[in-house]
Structure 1
Amino acid sequence: MTPPRPAPATTRLLSRGDLRLLVLALLGDQPRHGYELIQHVSELFVRAYTPSAGTMYPLLASFEQAGWVLAEDDAGRRRFRITDSGRAELLARRDEVKAAQHRAWHRAREIAKADMPPDLRDALRQFKSALVRHHGRWQEGETTQVSALLLQAAALLNGQPPAPAESPEPATPPA
């Protein structure tokens, strides 16, 4: 009898303090409502993590208390704008912010890969391998064909109708 496999360790999506840094950076880009911030963070993590209002609004309140943001009334909603003090904090912690953004990007990529159907993951692996092997040996018309196929796939995933196919002459393989 084989011993049971241990349960997979749950990996935290965010390191301690990362949400704080990511939100401050988003506010450094432009003023936003709390709900907008929640949506931006959710999109960053391919919707695998969405901070709750119970997380976001106390965080924004702590930013206000620290003097890093001002909340302005915007048609009955609060829009948060970074202050000079908040910009100074962002500047002082820019390396930490970049590291948090880098971790978030990598985590989002891991999530997307993990959720990818196995046949698609295999097809992408084969495509990448073929690109490496094909390096520097492009025949006339190949780039057009490959680009068109990739653009069609992107359109399909984005829910857009594929562009009308131009029928370029198929590239002849080298003899």
Structure 2
Amino acid sequence: MPVPYSSSIREQGHHDGFERRPPGRERGGRSPRVFAAGELKLLLLALIAEKPCHGYELIRQIEAMFDGAYTPSPGVIYPTLTHLEMSKMVSGDAEGGKKCYSATDVGRRCLQDQAEALDGVRIRIEASKRILREQDRPVEIHEAVGNLRRALQRHQDRWSPEEILRIRDLLNGTAKAIIDGPDRPPVSESSDD
């Protein structure tokens, strides 16, 4: 069933009325931000306090926290470590050409003072992980999900009780068919023939 669309969208050159945007990109072409200001610094400090480690190990630990959906770049990690070291929150000892970072007493006190903020960082990581996983969808699937969202937004003034049940059943049937996979026949609606 075609989704109605306005003439202004037609005039913009979108033949089917749906906006095309690369997956994982917000309006304006920017990727979603993973950490808010100060969050990476706090997370690194917490990881170092748990176990002294090298910068590369920290990169791998953060990557594991995101189930591989995000890997911080060395260009972000190492300047943050330098900042932590200059702030006397960590100390770095060179071992075989690599610096191993350890938390100082100042760093541990900072972590105690920022315990609530650190909990917030961990919650944000879980939310970011879900968002980043969505970016791994194939472009065609990402566009289809966006089309569904826009179709529901355009449908907003037509929510009769019957229509709510119809849309719910369509969405639930589609979700079940996706979960069941291609080997199971799709759920068909009963007809009153």
What is the SS of the residue equivalent to 1:67? coil
Paired residues of 2:60 and 2:71 also in contact (CA < 8 A): yes
Secondary structure of the structure 1 residue equivalent to 2:35: coil
Could you tell me which residue of structure 1 aligns to residue 94 of structure 2? 73
- Aligned position for 1:123: 179
Counterpart pick for 2:83 among 54, 62, 66: 62
1:108 Cα deviation after fit? 1.1
Instruction: Specify the structure having the higher radius of gyration (Cα).
Output: 2
Q: Give the drift of 1:98.
A: 0.7
- Among 130, 135, 142, the alignment partner of 1:109 is 130
Provide the C-alpha distance between the structure 2 equivalents of 1:27 and 1:121, rounded to a whole number of angstroms: 45
Q: Does 1:15 align with 2:36?
A: yes
Between the aligned partners of 1:21 and 1:77, the Cα distance in structure 2 is: 22
Separation of aligned partners in 2, 1:57 and 1:114: 26
Provide, for residues 65-122 of structure 1, a one-character-per-residue CA deviation record: whole Å limited to 9, x for no partner: 1110111122331100001100000111111111011101221133335536878993
User: Gapped runs of 5+ residues in structure 2?
Assistant: 1-9, 142-174, 181-193
Say if 1:55 and 1:121 are closer, same or farther in 2 by CA, change over 3 A.
Answer: farther
Residues 89, 120 of structure 1: alpha-carbon distance in 2 compared, 3 angstrom cutoff: farther
Within 2, Cα distance between the matches of 1:83 and 1:120?
A: 52
Aligned positions, number: 124
TM-score (norm 1): 0.61
Give the % identical residues.
30
What CA distance in whole angstroms lies between the structure 2 residues aligned with 1:75 and 1:121? 55
What does the per-residue CA deviation read over 1:114-170, in whole Å, with 9 as the maximum and x for residues that have no partner?
53687899328xxxxxxxxxxxxxxxxxxxxxxxxxxxxxxxxxxxxxxxxxxxxxx
Deviations 1:36-93 (A, max 9, x none): 0111112222333222222111111111111101111223311000011000001111
In structure 2, the CA distance between the partners of 1:88 and 1:48, relative to structure 1 (3 Å rule), is same
Paired letter, 1:24: L
Return the letter of the residue paired with 1:97: L
